[in-house]
Structures are given as C-alpha cells and as structure tokens.
Amino acid sequence: MADASGFEGNWSRINVFLPINTAQERLAAARAIRVVSHLYGGATHSTIRPHTFVGYWWDGDTGRWVRDAQCWLTTDAPYAIGQA
C-alpha cells in the first residue's frame, strides 16, 4: 500500500474515465475502483448508477456520434509521471 502520510516527494494525480454502458462495464469499473483504492490507499470516483458523466466519440463506420456513460476515477499516486 502507498505511504499516504504526507505529500512530500513526487506525487501524480491520475484521472481515468471508465465506460459504464453495460453490466459488464459497470462491474469492471467497480473492480477498477476497488483495485485503485487498495493500491494507492484511497480514490475518489463519481457514481456508477446513475451515471454522472457522459462522453461522446465518433464512430467512423456509422458516421455518427456515440453516447458513452462514464464514471470518473481519480487518485494520487506516490510517483512522478514518467518515473520508472
């Protein structure tokens, strides 16, 4: 588990937008939230049901925008981006 006793050193804020359109995606999002929370000693996320955020992406095959319900997951990790 990460040492979250202070913010000295290099920390990075990580934001992940998880698709939650299907039951399988909602289950995967819930698992990702648990894993990140345990790995980094905590996380913040938006609700899964009902969803809070909506995104859109362009489907080149259909020529249409696709609506995408999303859960926003954020955490602070005890390393700098780009650090191996």
- Supply the pLDDT for residue 74: 97
Number of other CB atoms surrounding residue 66 within 10 Å: 11
pTM of the full predicted structure? 0.78
Q: How sure is the predictor about 1, in pLDDT bands with cuts at 50, 70 and 90?
A: very low
Q: What is the pLDDT of residue 53?
A: 96
Say if CB 2 and CB 78 are below 8 A apart. Answer: yes
Contact 61, 55 (CB under 8 A): no
Beta bridge partners of 69: 54
Please say whether the beta carbons of 71 and 46 come within 8 A: yes
